[in-house]
Chain A
Amino acid sequence: MSTVTLYSVSYDLAHDLLFLLGWILHYGPAAAAVENPNVVTGLGVLIFAAILLAASMLNTIVLIWYERKLLGRFMDRRGAMHVGYAGLLQNFADGLKLFRKHTTQPAEADHVGFYFGPTAYMVSSLVIFGILPISTGWNSGALPLSLLLALVVFSFAPLFIFVSAWSSNNKYSLMGGLRSAAQMIAYEVPLLLAVVAVVVVAGSFSLTTIVYEQQNYWFWGPLVVALVVFVAAMLAEMERIPFDLPEAEAELVEGWNTEYGGMLFAFFMLADYLRALVGSILIVLLFLGGWTMPGWVPSAATSFPLAGIFWFMLKTYLVFGLFVWVRASLPRVRTDQLLRVGWNRLIPLSLLSVFLAAALVSVRCLPVFGCVPSPGG
């Protein structure tokens, strides 16, 4: 019995589709294409990408709804509740409205940068979803350097933000863009150092391996310092309160997306939440055991991935709930304070976490505990 994965489903789908096409059209080449593994693989990848795109966008929109409802309860109100059941369709309505709106470009704005910025921001945020494993049988996560790849794509964002801010020809946008660049560059360093701690303990840059390394214990326990650093840095990378100063609406109106409206604004909005989703997923993968649960580890060979996906999404949403909680209770910090926290506090802490991780690995390899060699890496 072959394993059922999303890949195999999409390959089978591609195969059947081509077969059906050839049969209906009585068209030789189409029928023959079924025999060609390259065509089937290509179509399978496309179908897979479409499924992934739909799933990630759907999740993002549900995430926005989730934040609105959760934030509402924190604030003694209800959140969206008119469109659809409990306001579930409100964000679709908002998206539709933004889709219908005309995109205006300021008079002196740079045309290329103005359109390139949000589009690239959106695309780069979506690309990460092709890398992150959600459950068993997600081959992309098994790439030896998948974690590094994900973080590299994740760190493209300040560049695109800065491009779109600069090309909007607006002082508020420019200030927001500069803040964004400064903040993201400052927080890349502790973020990566905290990841290094995880990598040291797991012995691998492969996300799948990191998750399977957490079969016995999740990493948040031994690596709690790294977790704190990672969450703080991730908050800054996601530009969420208390670190949302690039779009601090009190002084900078809307920061770097002041001049954007319609679908370009929707790109920013969606990409922000995509990145928030990515941040939560990374925390779950690196520290909270991914799709495994204590005492239950799905095997890639036998289990259907849905159970893993369920546990994974549950954890992701709980982590995002934590971000919402922080947003509901803490005010925004100032630029200089943010940078001071980043360089002066988080980097030493992250170095400490790397040291602790190295110590942990050494201790684990002591003869007393019995050396446990890491399987991956």
Chain B
Amino acid sequence: MTDGTAGTAATQAPEENPVLYVARPMATAARQFVKSLVRPSTIVYPYERLEDPRFRGEVAVASGKPIGVGAVWDNYRGVHALNIATCISCNLCAFSCPDLCIEMVTVPGGDPKHPKKCPQIDYGKCSYCGFCSDACPEGCLTMTTRYELSTPKRSEMVYSPQKLNEVFRSKLPMNPIRLERPENEDRILLDPPLCIGCNACARDCPTACITMLDVPKPEGKPGAKLPKRIWKEPVVNDSDCVRCGTCISVCPKECLFWGSRP
């Protein structure tokens, strides 16, 4: 607590005036009445929609309010749109979901060994935080301006990838925000002594940015015991890597980790 009156705005209520002070609020209300005779500020929702660009101008002009004079709805976080064609099944959306409402389900299109998995979203749980679309490295999962979701059945709240793809095809305005990756982002690093060259990381990498390169077999003393392994090591192409961490989670020897070594 500080003393002194510097930097304070002391407020004082005006004196009461019994006659005028019944008239003043009534005059204020009457002014509003006359103004809203032209057009009240209400937006008659099912018939008029704020996101309709033609309508926005009308409200702004008629009621004198400064609303809707710009792209208020551009960044709206509504129902997701999924472009199945560009989805790389990296799992980042499901990882980043705080409500655990995203499940990766198989969609047709992948090869039998590596089925293609795309997000299925349960809107009964979703909180529209947008973490998933922020995390999506390919920009295939975005959010749209659709917000009407009510259904008579709870099961219809679960949107399959195909349904999300339909939202994508309906050409709704999409959230344009694409977050920049920080320049010196953490990378996938390898702890070489632990690696057994099993190829699991390269096999499961959604962007195929991991290549297994030969490493020279150490020329130890004859008779010295060499580790039993395949003499290959993963090398990550950092510019292609989306940092999904799939390689880390599939590595059987825990030899991959996040790091910032140049």
B contact residues around A325 at 8 Å (CB): 26, 29-30, 33
A326 within 8 Å of B by Cβ?
yes
Q: Which of B1-31 contact A (CB under 8 A)?
A: 22, 25-26, 28-30
Distance, CA A218 to CA B38, complexed state (A): 34
Residue of B nearest to A328 (CB): B29
Q: Are B25 and A330 in contact, with the CB atoms below 8 A? A: yes
Q: Which of A61-81 contact B (CB under 8 A)?
A: 72-78, 81
A329 at the interface (CB under 8 A from B): yes
| A78 pairs with B42, CB closer than 8 A | yes
Contacts of B28 in A (CB 8 A): 329
Asked if B176 is at the interface of the complex by the 8 Å CB criterion, the answer is no
A77 to B33, CA, bound (A): 10
Asked if B40 is an interface residue, CB under 8 A from chain A, the answer is yes
* Alpha-carbon distance between A326 and B28 when the two chains are bound, in angstroms: 11
Interface residues on B, range: 10 to 19
A77 to B37, CA, bound (A): 10
| In the complex, chain A residues whose CB is within 8 Å of the CB of B63 | 76
Chain A, 316-334, contact with B by CB distance < 8 Å: what is the 0/1 string?
0000000001101110000
Is B71 an interface position by the 8 A CB rule? no
A73 to B36 alpha-carbon distance, docked (Å):
6
Interface of B is mostly: helix
Q: B41 is contacted by which of A76, A326, A330 (Cβ under 8 Å)?
A: A76
- Output the least CB separation between A338 and chain B (Å): 15
- Is A72 within 8 A of B40, CB to CB? yes
Chain A residues, CB < 8 A from B29:
74, 325, 328-329
B40 to A81, Cβ gap below 8 A?
Answer: no
Contact A73 B37 (CB under 8 A): yes
Q: Which residues of B contact A73 (CB under 8 A)?
A: 33, 36-37, 40
- CB of B32 closer than 8 Å to a CB of A: yes
B44 within 8 A of A: yes
A78 touches B40 (CB 8 A): yes
B114 within 8 A of A: no
B44: contacting residue among A72, A75, A78, CB under 8 A: A78
The answer on a CB contact under 8 Å between A76 and B26 is no
Is the CB of B35 closer than 8 A to any CB of chain A? Answer: yes
> How many angstroms between the C-alpha atoms of A76 and B63 in the bound complex?
9
Determine the distance from Cα of A78 to Cα of B62 in the docked complex, in whole angstroms.
14
- Mask, A28-47, CB within 8 Å of B = 1, is 00000000000000000000
Q: Give the CA-CA distance A330 to B41 in the complex, in Å.
A: 22
Q: Assess whether B44 is in contact with A329, with CB atoms less than 8 Å apart.
A: no
Closest-by-CB residue of A relative to B29 is A329
List, in ascending order, chain A residues with CB within 8 A of B36's CB: 73-77
Question: What chain B residues lie within 8 Å of A76 (beta carbons)?
Answer: 32, 35-36, 40-42, 63
The reply to whether A326 and B26 contact each other, CB–CB distance below 8 Å, is yes
A74 x B32 contact (CB < 8 A): yes
Contact: B40 with A77, CB < 8 Å? yes
Shortest CB-to-CB span from B38 to chain A, Å, is: 10
- B 35-71 to A, binary, CB cutoff 8 A, 1 in contact else 0: 1110011101000000000000000000100000000
Within A271-327, the residues touching B (CB, 8 Å) are 325-326
Determine how close the nearest CB of chain B comes to the CB of A69; give it in whole angstroms. Answer: 11
Q: Which residues of B contact A328 (CB under 8 A)?
A: 29, 33
A93 to B33, CA, bound (A): 27
Alpha-carbon gap, A75 to B26, bound state (A): 12
**Within the assembled complex, what's the spacing in Å between the Cα atoms of A326 and B27?**
10
Within the assembled complex, what's the spacing in Å between the Cα atoms of A233 and B32? 27
B41–A77 touching, CB < 8 Å = yes
Complex-state Cα separation, A3 to B26, whole angstroms: 45
Query: Which chain A residues border B42 with CB–CB below 8 Å?
Result: 76-78
If A73-B33, A74-B33, A75-B32 touch, whether A329 touches B40 (CB-CB below 8 Å) is no
**CB-nearest residue of chain B to A72:** B40
> Would you give the shortest CB distance from A89 to chain B, in whole angstroms?
17
27 of the cross-chain contacts (CB-CB < 8 Å) are A72-B40, A73-B33, A73-B36, A73-B37, A74-B32, A74-B33, A76-B32, A76-B36, A76-B40, A76-B41, A76-B42, A76-B63, A77-B36, A77-B40, A77-B41, A77-B42, A78-B40, A78-B42, A78-B44, A325-B30, A328-B29, A328-B33, A329-B25, A329-B26, A329-B29, A330-B22, A330-B25
**Which residue numbers of A lie inside 8 Å of B, CB to CB?**
72-78, 81, 325-326, 328-330
Q: Which 3 A-B pairs have the closest CB atoms?
A: A329-B29, A329-B25, A329-B26
